[in-house]
């Protein structure tokens, strides 16, 4: 199999697994996590090949966080205690400040110590994706809003590196971010009276 067809096959497999992950995540199904882990590990290979090193680090993080999410959702599910939550503004401000600091550090390293493509944009999408992933694992409703904007930037970034299938996947993710927000909002409103919120 030639290098190009190998890349295409890996991109298709990663895309399929990642799409299944997101659909199952929206539906709050624990089965989302193994698909997310598989899609993320395949993506690491692709991003190393296309010199998007911050993205490779990000997808390795996704795989590791997928294991944590799987375990956390399993334990919370057994206790029947895995609600959708809403963060106060102070949590968002702290999270955004940390993500900005992380992005500047990562962008600096990628700019001066690697042959990375689009190092600063790549670093910002990576750092804020760390935050959004943490929110996703903890079922924070507003995480979907972060994903919506991150996905819009990522479409351009992936097209810039000729990852057209990934760009199309992220376009679908952008739409599904809205669907996910509305679905989790419905869950939040349904559970809120029972939780005394």
Report the distance separating Cα 167 and Cα 157, nearest Å.
8
pLDDT tens-place values along the chain, 197 residues long: 555 688 888 988 998 999 999 999 999 999 999 999 999 999 999 889 888 777 788 889 899 999 999 999 988 877 777 899 999 999 999 999 999 999 999 889 888 887 777 888 888 988 999 999 999 999 999 999 999 999 999 899 888 878 788 888 889 999 999 999 999 999 999 985 544 44
- C-alpha 67: how far from its chain's center? 14
Tokens, residue 127: 């750092």
Burial of residue 150 (CB within 10 Å: 0-12, 13-18, 19+) is buried
Number of domains the chain is built from: 1
Burial of residue 186 (CB within 10 Å: 0-12, 13-18, 19+) is exposed
CB atoms closer than 10 angstroms to residue 19: 16
> Buried (b) or exposed (e) across 26-41, using 16+ Cβ within 10 A?
bebebebbbbbbbbbb
Say which residues have a Cβ less than 8 Å from residue 103's Cβ, sequence separation at least 6: 120, 123, 124, 126, 127, 128
Q: Element (H or E) spanning 196, and its range?
A: none
- What's the start-to-end Cα distance of the chain, in Å? 57
Q: Are 121 and 104 in contact (CB under 8 A)?
A: no
Host domain of residue 163: 3-195
């Amino acid at each position: 199999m030639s290098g190009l067809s190998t890349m295409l096959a890996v991109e298709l497999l990663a895309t399929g697994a990642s799409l299944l992950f997101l659909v199952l995540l929206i539906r709050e199904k624990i089965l989302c996590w193994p698909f997310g882990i598989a899609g993320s590990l395949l993506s690491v290979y692709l991003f190393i090949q296309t010199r998007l090193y911050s993205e490779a680090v990000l997808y390795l993080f996704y795989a590791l966080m997928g294991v944590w999410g799987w375990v956390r959702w399993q334990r919370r599910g057994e206790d029947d205690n895995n609600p959708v939550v809403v963060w106060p503004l102070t949590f968002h401000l702290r999270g955004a400040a940390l993500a900005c600091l992380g992005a500047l550090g990562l962008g600096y390293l990628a700019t001066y110590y690697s042959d990375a493509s689009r190092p600063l944009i790549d670093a910002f999408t990576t750092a804020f994706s760390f935050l959004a992933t943490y929110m996703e694992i903890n079922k924070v409703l507003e995480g979907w809003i972060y994903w919506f904007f991150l996905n819009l930037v990522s479409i351009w970034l992936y097209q810039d590196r000729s990852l057209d299938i990934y760009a199309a996947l992220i376009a679908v993710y952008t739409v599904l971010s809205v669907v996910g927000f509305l679905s989790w909002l419905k869950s939040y409103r349904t559970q809120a009276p029972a939780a005394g919120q």
